[in-house]
Amino acid sequence: MAHSTDPPGNPAADPIRVAVIGYGYWGPNLVRNFGGLDGCEVTVVCDPDPAALSRASQLYPAIRVTASVDELLSGEDVDAVAIATPVSSHFELARRVVESGRHVLIEKPMTSTAEESRQLIDLAGAAGVVLMVDHTFLYTGAVRRIRELIEADELGTPYYFDSERISLGLLQQDINVVWDLAPHDLSILQFLFEEQPSRLQAVGFRHVGSEREEMASLNLVYPSGLHAQIRVSWLSPVKVRRTLIGGSRRMVVFDDVEPTEKVRVYDKGVALDLAGEEVTALKPIYRAGDVHIPMLDRTEALQVEAAHFLECIRDGRQPLTGGAEGLAVVELLEAADRSMAAGGEFVSLDS
């Protein structure tokens, strides 16, 4: 792979001091994982909610808590900031962090618009700081193992990517279900195939009276013939996190809800019998072989990601999920909104 995601082996003598903005759903996970790494110290938690700050103080009495971003950035005890707040606040918070000379890790999606993402990339480049996006699934042992299978041509020619990410989820106030859930699958697609889609279609539905889609389906068409379908929903009675990847040689099932055997590789496929002189002689040939369950790295993905962020800060290397990768996902999300607004028409993604 082009980017290492191994934890740093020789942390610097002085720990990297990390602040976390947002201590709601995802913030506590960031605090826990950064706090558990050698060469890192979580120094500040910032949240406007007094109850959230109280919870953080009870668990981590040594960490400074504040409701003020100004107070956080004026302190001398912060080298990097992780942002876990509503998407609508990402750009302004990240801009302030970058302009203060700190490195920044932003929860997905990177920003509310592609233009904001481009501005952040330029600002981070000018400031010489690391800009990284929290596309957590790219740091899982499962997704990294699937990438290795594809790179080794174990699957053959990729045919399709079919993902279902549904649950009885929390309806977001500032984004629809596509912006909430689809970034996971779009970032996985980008990581696995490194090919840009040429067309995208999105169809969304609203059922509970909200102003934003709670269910949606995306179709992405790639120049190579690869087709991707992504279904997302906040209105499912069961939690499903399953992806099927079909190739000419083998097929993969990635079930993130499965506690142990998250990845299964099936030696199954279908081809046409081209023997004979007439078109009518074509017959499907089905192949059914063994099922292989590969060994996976069980390290928590967020721990791997946090360690990679620190490594990029120390070594000045480009993150696996940097600004460019975050921008690419936001551009697809914007295209999905355009397609839904046009009644599900395919939109061109050619630059």
Q: Which of 63, 74, 69 is nearest to 21 (CA)?
A: 69
Q: Which segments in the chain show pLDDT lower than 70? A: 1-13, 273-282, 351
| Chain centroid to CA 291 | 28
Cα distances (Å, whole numbers) of residue 192 to 66, 91, 150? 40, 27, 7
pLDDT recorded at residue 10: 47
Q: What is the pLDDT of residues 30-56, one digit of tens each?
A: 999 999 999 999 999 999 999 999 999
Estimate the share of the chain in helix, then strand, then coil, as percent rounded to the nearest 5: 35, 25, 40
pLDDT recorded at residue 170: 79
- According to CATH, the topology of domain 16-136+301-321 is Rossmann fold (3.40.50)
Paired tokens of 318: 């480009």
- The CATH-assigned architecture of domain 138-298+332-348 is 2-Layer Sandwich (3.30)
Q: Are 54 and 23 in contact (CB under 8 A)?
A: no
Q: What stretch(es) of the chain map to CATH 3.40.50.720?
A: 16-136+301-321
pLDDT recorded at residue 9: 43
pLDDT recorded at residue 278: 54
pLDDT recorded at residue 270: 74
Q: What is the pLDDT of residues 4-24, one digit of tens each?
A: 455 444 444 589 999 999 999
The C-alpha torsion from 150 through 268 and 167 to 347, rounded to 10°, is 60
The C-alpha torsion from 164 through 165 and 167 to 172, rounded to 10°, is -140
CB proximity list for 33: less than 8 A, separation 6 or greater: 300, 302, 303, 305, 306
Q: Are 99 and 35 in contact (CB under 8 A)?
A: no
Q: What stretch(es) of the chain map to CATH 3.30.360.10?
A: 138-298+332-348
